[in-house]
Amino acid sequence: MARIIAELVREPIDAAAAAAALGAPGAGAVVTFVGTVRDQNRGRAVTAMEYEAYLEMARPLLAELAAETAARFRLEGVVLIHRLGRLAVGEAAVFIGVASAHRAEAFDAARRLIDTLKERVPIWKKEHYADGSAWIDGEGSHGA
């Protein structure tokens, strides 16, 4: 059984601790991805990013995504953490970590986790600028 952690958190993500939580002695490959808040988007300076989730729906979908990806890629471990609330530029919004026997599966699984998370999990973000703010429409259009 793969070790699986899937969480929505409000406190800062500790990437080192999250990677350590993968704890998979049988894994020859560990891939981690950290998505951070950028200081600009579409030509506008971004001062902060605010994340909102439909918690009751997002939590089970995140867990399901982690479990389904672990099974499909035969992973030893999956850690999937998304932060909510208001984040400053440079802060980690999402952490993805996978451990597997070989590197190909690890890279593919990490890529699929972030892509599917953005497509399926009900989380939204609002960019803040020096002079206002705007919701950023996602690409997620269905639950498949």
Partner 1 sequence: MGPMETKILTLKFFAGIREALGMAVLRERFGDDVRTAGDVVRFLESRFPAFREAAPRLLMAVNLRYAHPATPVADGDEIAFFPPVGGG
Q: What does the binding site for partner 1 look like in residue numbers (CB under 8 A)?
A: 35, 51-54, 56-57, 60, 82, 93-94, 114, 117-126, 135-143
In angstroms, the CA 49 to CA 38 distance is: 9
Query: Which lies closer to partner 1 via its Cβ, residue 24 or residue 61?
Result: 61
- Provide the minimum distance between the beta carbon of 1 and partner 1 in the complex, in angstroms, as a whole number: 26
- Provide the minimum distance between the beta carbon of 102 and partner 1 in the complex, in angstroms, as a whole number: 26
Query: Which lies closer to partner 1 via its Cβ, residue 10 or residue 141?
Result: 141
Query: Which lies closer to partner 1 via its Cβ, residue 27 or residue 32?
Result: 32
The dihedral built from the CA positions of residue 111, 112, 115 and 121, taken in this order, carries a sign that is negative
DSSP single-letter state for residue 12: P
Distances from the Cα of 89 to the Cαs of 8, 12, 63, 78, 129, in angstroms? 19, 13, 27, 26, 11
- Provide the minimum distance between the beta carbon of 43 and partner 1 in the complex, in angstroms, as a whole number: 19
